[in-house]
Each structure stands twice: as structure tokens, then as C-alpha cells.
Amino acid sequence: MIRKLLSLSLLTLLSTSAFAGGYRVAMQGNKQLAMGHTGVAVISNGAESLFFNPAASVYSENKFDISGGVSYLVADTKFQNKTYGWENETRNPGTPFYLYGSYKATDWMTVGLAVYSPYGSKVEWDKDWQGSHLVNNIDLKAIYFQPTVAIKVSKHFSFGGGPIFVNGGVTFNKNLSRSMTDEQGNRTNVTVEAKNVTAWGWTAGYLVNVDDHLRLGLNYRSKIIMNETSGKSKFENVPGFGQSIFKDGTIKAEMPLPAELTVGASYTWNKWLFAFDYNRSFWTAYKALTIDFVDNPAIGTSVNPRNYKDSCTYRLGVQYTMNEQLTLRAGWYYDESPVQKGYFAPETPRNDSRAYTGGLSYKFKNGIGIDLSFSYLHFSDTNSSYDYYMEDGQNVSFGGTYKSAVTSGGIGVSYSF
């Protein structure tokens, strides 16, 4: 039983906002977020292109482009199971940020550094709620560092990319079972903590300027292997009969973050810019999570099936330049969930979603610009369950109706010279 429980905990550590998994609300640039988070074929937005497509950065007209920003998001989830009369809800904040800088070394080469946090979320249900055997709370943080180089082959074609270094950590708590308590009636629980988990990957992008109006872009991010060798597990309120089994100790685990491919197009017409991105995340890399409880031979090695499927995201964005100072933006996207039937867990209560975005930029004459964005992300209501929690040798299902939404506002500062 405990093997399945703790496998689920470590899954939350190594999955994401991400990419999906926990959840990944796309907020890697306020200009691009306002346009539905499109950008793989857009070259007019300065340093933010380091994330969306490094190849675009070499077409900047500026020697230096710097962009930084932060978003404040609020994620709301309501859970209900009418059969048993269960109800619960959770509201959790997040503050993803980004910082980009690029330098045009020559007319044909640009170098840059991108730092961003695709994960920085927190989910906290009421302690000992109906699904506490799956999760009580989780606090996940990860920061990505991405140095890049872009080369302009001609005015029609460029490419760029570089390595990605990830540093992250998580604190996760759940009850050990649906009913276990100590002799005083306190629910037995376990906390899993991992700090400074690191991994490497890479990204590569290509941009084609078909003519002065139409551009085509492609960006690929590799699969990243998250390898945890020194995670810690801490058990609390363990009854006397379990003291010899549920002991604090070290955990090892390895899990891949899936590769993703984005292709898209943009078209400029007078003061208008239209963009479309298609993203494919290769979630089939998540077959199972294997965890080794190094200091607990009674628990041993656990294998927890996930069986995710590849998923797609479709993005649309529009930009209108009113004058040299003011630019308006709007966008929309549809994001498919990678979770298959029977694998829907409350630490990642996210189904297919639709996002509505908007924002603006105001550029002062000294080269400083202020970027504002707003987004509303609505997840389709779903009556789903997690069917692979094992108790007394049998799979026990936990499920109900989940209603989720994420609202965010962001502000950024850009400077070019």
C-alpha cells in the first residue's frame, strides 16, 4: 500500500507547469501572454523571443534587449462527490517570473540568457479532507536557466538554441491511508521534501521570413531527465505497529519531463500582427514513476503507472500598434490535458482548458516600456477519478466533479538600446 502512496508524492515533484502534470500556466512573457502566449514566429517583441524562439532574436534592430516581469495568479478548484456528500475547495496563489537579456554581437549573431519559472505553484487542500490519502498540500518551485546563441544565415532564415539547466524543489504532504491514525487519533501522514534537484536539456529554434509580411517558426525543447538521489521522507503520527516500517529516510527517483515541439506562423498587415502557434507535448514519456526507498527495505522499490498521452495546444494572437508608444494585444488558446481516464488525481486537478488573454504595452521615449497582461483560464468541468490507489491489495477509486479556473495579472518592464 505505502509503495503506491509515496509513488504519487514523488510524481508531483518531477512533473510539472510543466509542463502539465501539476499544471503549467503559460506565463513566460507578458507581451506574448497577452497574445495567447503565441510567439514562435514573432520577431518584433525583443528579448522575450529567447524563450519562444531563440532564432528570432537575431533580427532585433537593437544592440541590447532586456525584458523582465512577474505575474500573480490565483488558481481555484472546487471538488464535489454527490454520492457521498463530499465537498471541498482550494484557492492557491502563484508568482511565475521571467528575466531575459540579449546582445547583438554582430549583424549576424545574437547571444542571450533566459531565466524563467514555469513552476512556482502551491496547492493546499483542507488538512485531512476526503482525498487526503492522495494529497494534503504541495509547494513546488523550479527555475530554468537558458543561455542561447542565434545565427542569421540570411534575411530569410535564422536558427538558434542552447542548453537548459533546471533547478527545483518540492515539499509534499499526504495522509498515509484513508483511516490510519496513531493511538491519540491523529491521522498518520508523510512529508516528502526534495531540494536543489537539477537536470539538463536543450532547445533549438528556426525562423523563416517568407517575405516582409509572412514568417514561419519552429522551436523544440528536449526531454529532460529529473534524477532525485537525496530526497527525504518524514513520517508523522505513526502508530506503534508501524514504527519499524514507516521510518524517515532517503528516496531516489528518476522521471522524464517530455519533449515539446511548437510550430507557427505570423503575418503583419499595416499596424496589425496576427499569430498562430501549435504545440505538441510528448507526454507518452510518462509510462510510470519508479521510486527506491533507500533506507526502508520493508517498502522497497515502487512502480506507479501514469500512462499519459501526448497532448496539443492551439494558440491565436493579435496585436495592434496604435502609435509609437501604445500597442494593444489579445489572444486565445485551447490546451488539451495529457491525463487519461482513471488517472485524474487531486494534486493536479486540471482538465482540457481554454484561455482568454489581453494586454498592452506603453513605450516611453527613453526606451523603457511597460507591459501589462491579463488572462482567464477556464478548465472544462470533469467527473473524473484516480483508480490506482492501492489499499489491502486492491485498487480503490477516488473521484468526483472538479471545477477549476486560473485568473492572472502580469506586469513587465522592457528596455532596448
365-414 tens-digit pLDDT: 888 999 999 999 999 888 888 888 877 778 888 888 898 899 999 999 99
Q: What is the pLDDT of residue 106?
A: 94
Most confident of the following: 316-325, 336-345, 391-400: 316-325
Cα–Cα dist 278/52, whole Å: 12
Q: What is the DSSP letter of 210?
A: -
Nearest to 332 by CA among 344, 347, 316, 348: 316
Helix (H) or strand (E) holding 4: helix 2-14
Q: Which residue matches cell numbers 490519502? A: 133
Whether residue 190 contacts residue 235, with contact meaning beta carbons closer than 8 Å, is answered with yes
Cα–Cα dist 173/193, whole Å: 9
Cα–Cα dist 334/139, whole Å: 26
Contacts of 318 (CB under 8 A, 6+ apart): 35, 272, 273, 274, 275, 329, 330, 331
Q: Flag whether pLDDT at 341 surpasses 80.
A: yes
Phi, psi of 31 (to 5 degrees): -65, -50
Confidence of residue 121 (pLDDT cuts 50, 70, 90): low
- pTM reported for the whole predicted model: 0.86
Helix (H) or strand (E) holding 266: strand 260-269
36-61 tens-digit pLDDT: 999 999 987 679 999 999 999 999 88
Higher per-residue pLDDT: 123 or 325: 325
Q: What is the pLDDT of residue 295?
A: 81
Q: What is the pLDDT of residue 45?
A: 64
Most confident of the following: 19-33, 124-138, 342-356, 386-400: 124-138
Whether residue 48 contacts residue 68, with contact meaning beta carbons closer than 8 Å, is answered with no
Q: What is the pLDDT of residue 165?
A: 96
Phi-psi region of 2 (alpha: psi -120 to 50; beta: other; left: phi over 0): alpha
Q: What is the pLDDT of residue 171?
A: 84
Q: What is the pLDDT of residue 274?
A: 97
Q: What is the pLDDT of residue 367?
A: 84
Helix (H) or strand (E) holding 387: strand 368-391
Q: What is the pLDDT of residue 343?
A: 83
Q: Flag whether pLDDT at 151 surpasses 70.
A: yes
Q: What is the pLDDT of residue 349?
A: 62
Query: What average pLDDT is seen over the chain?
Result: 86
Phi-psi region of 33 (alpha: psi -120 to 50; beta: other; left: phi over 0): alpha
- Grid coordinates belonging to 64: 541590447
Contacts of 201 (CB under 8 A, 6+ apart): 163, 164, 166, 221, 222, 223, 224, 257
Q: What is the DSSP letter of 188?
A: P
Most confident of the following: 158-167, 306-315, 385-394, 399-408: 158-167
Q: What is the pLDDT of residue 54?
A: 95
* 3-class SS of residue 393: coil
* 3-class SS of residue 145: strand
Q: What is the DSSP letter of 184?
A: T
Least confident of 71-80, 119-128, 225-234: 119-128
Q: Flag whether pLDDT at 11 surpasses 60.
A: no
Nearest to 160 by CA among 144, 146, 175: 146
Whether residue 203 contacts residue 220, with contact meaning beta carbons closer than 8 Å, is answered with yes
* HSE-CB of 224 using CA atoms within 13 angstroms: 26
The CA distances from residue 145 to 62, 114, 142, 159, in Å, are 23, 6, 10, 19
Contacts of 185 (CB under 8 A, 6+ apart): none
Cα–Cα dist 51/102, whole Å: 11
Residues paired with 382 in a beta bridge: 402
Query: How many residues would you count in the chain?
Result: 417
Least confident of 87-101, 287-301, 396-410: 287-301
Least confident of 14-18, 254-258, 308-312: 14-18
Q: Are strands 326-335 and 311-321 parallel, antiparallel or unpaired?
A: antiparallel
Least confident of 58-72, 73-87, 137-151, 299-313: 299-313
Cα–Cα dist 265/135, whole Å: 41
Cα–Cα dist 12/18, whole Å: 11
Whether residue 20 contacts residue 281, with contact meaning beta carbons closer than 8 Å, is answered with yes
Q: Flag whether pLDDT at 342 surpasses 60.
A: yes
